Amino acid sequence: AGPGDLSRAYDGDMEAVERAIQAVLSACLEFDVPCGVTAGAHDIARRLEEGFRVIIVTEEEALEVGREAAGRR
């Protein structure tokens, strides 16, 4: 489930959504399991810095931003 699905589950409470995302990321990092999240172009660099290893994008612009943030061209 991504942020969109979670926002419905948490009745639009984006702070609760982010806490849920971070809880899953924390568990993945603890057990060295690759963790993924959906992200737009404006979120990719931050999500990579947080430790997400898989970024799911739906915008063409986000692909380019993601490549750059990951050090790939």
**Would you list the DSSP string of 29-53?**
HHTT---EEE--TTTHHHHHHHT--
Q: Is the pLDDT of residue 73 over 70?
A: no
Say if strands 54-56 and 36-38 run parallel, antiparallel, or are unpaired.
parallel
- Chain centre to alpha carbon of residue 43: 7
Please report, as a single letter, which amino acid is at residue 35: C
Rounded to two decimals, the pTM is 0.81
Residue 16 has which token pair?
């609760």
pLDDT at residue 51, rounded to an integer: 97
> DSSP class of residue 70?
T
What are the pLDDT digits (tens) for 16-63?
999 999 999 999 999 999 999 999 888 999 999 999 999 998 787 777
